[in-house]
Structure 1
Amino acid sequence: MEELWNWKRCKAEIRSLKGRLGFPDKPVLRFLKLSLKFEDGSIYDELANHTLKQKHLTLPHLYCILSSYADAEPTPPTSNLISSKQLQGGQYCNVAVERARSSIQDVFGSVSKMLVKSAKVL
């Protein structure tokens, strides 16, 4: 996956997000407490306070997601609220929520301070 999804191959698509699809026209793309520099593709983790190394396992996944998102067509907001059941696959939302709840319990256990810190990101 790393060979296909790297900065060299994805930078044009990712750079096209600047000022589009909800991102501001700035030299850094911020999402989920991560900051990607358009200049070199480096990603800074704002929660861990460090830059991800080029060989970090997460980088190809992030480049893949951002490249795919860059291909999306802009859709104007409708101001209509929809339920998860109206989305494709929405009938399985309760399963996903339960899986997420279980994962959160496994990761945080009794360390509520870390859970609160992580929740602030959302």
Structure 2
Amino acid sequence: MRRPRDIDAELKALQEKAKSLKARQRTQLGELVIATGADQLDMETLAGLLLGAVEHKDSDKREGWRRRGAEFFQRRNRRKENGAGDTASRADGDTGGAAPLGGGSEAS
């Protein structure tokens, strides 16, 4: 005879997992802000940049931003594979090869 499912326990486990995933997402977003050097910006400027990117409808510009982000992560992955740590590169002022926010040909 099969045991009945404990729906309440399953629901609680799913809620805990969702909470854990949300916390992990917040942590990763914070790490991304630091890794790109965007932590040097004041909160209002950073929020304005993000809101502008979310509202921006030009698919070519968005694709440019996406490519630039993909290159950023590829450089970081190559550095990690070669044994270079993030703390050492940040101490030297390296922002992971990313251009400052608001600069470059693909920024608005």
Relative to the length of structure 1, the TM-score reads 0.26
Larger Cα-atom Rg: 2
Q: Which has the higher strand share?
A: 1
Higher helix share: 2
Bigger relative contact order (CA 8 A; separation at least 6): 2
TM-score by length of 2: 0.28
